[in-house]
Amino acid sequence: MSFRFIYQLIICFTLPGLCAFAQDAKSEEGPVMEVIDSFLKAIDQKDTALFNSLLIANAQAFVQQGDEVKARTMKMLVDFPANQQWKERLNQDKVKMTISGTVASVTAPYLFYIDNVLSHCGHESFSLVKEKAGWKITSLTYTVQGDSCH
């Protein structure tokens, strides 16, 4: 067998698989982004049930503010204050998503408002896994930058 023939065989067998893998990942972009959009909606609407339904049982949050990094269970984050309205917005033009099989990550800069006044901004990264019931958030890592929001 010639090297060229072997090369052609490799291309014929791997390229369709790679294309199918890319198409599968592309078809999951909508469902993954729906989870992120629902997460933001839960914050806007102070919907604890919706918020918790988007998480795996032990989902974690890692928060970096200055030189300090804090870790906590995400379900602890949903103590929505009754006297404040929270809104979080992602910079949709800068959302980056990577999907590999049943694992996904979504990163983007964000702005966080309290009572319609910009409180802080930063960058966040969601990690997700696909379960039988659909995509769930496993962790959220984000920065808090209060004085450098533009």
Note the pLDDT of residue 147.
72
Note the pLDDT of residue 78.
65
Q: Token pair for residue 139?
A: 């962790």
pTM for this predicted structure: 0.78
Phi, psi at 61, each rounded to 5°: -125, 140
Q: Which domains does the chain have, with CATH numbers?
A: 29-143 (3.10.450.50)
Q: Is the dihedral of CA 39, 73, 104, 89 positive or negative?
A: positive
Note the pLDDT of residue 39.
95
pLDDT single digits (tens) 49-72:
999 999 998 999 999 988 899 998
| 9 pLDDT higher than 70 | no
99 versus 149: the higher-pLDDT residue is 99
Note the pLDDT of residue 12.
45
Q: What is the C-alpha to C-alpha distance for residues 94 and 118, in angstroms, rounded to an integer?
A: 19
- The helix (H) or strand (E) run that includes residue 52 is helix 48-53
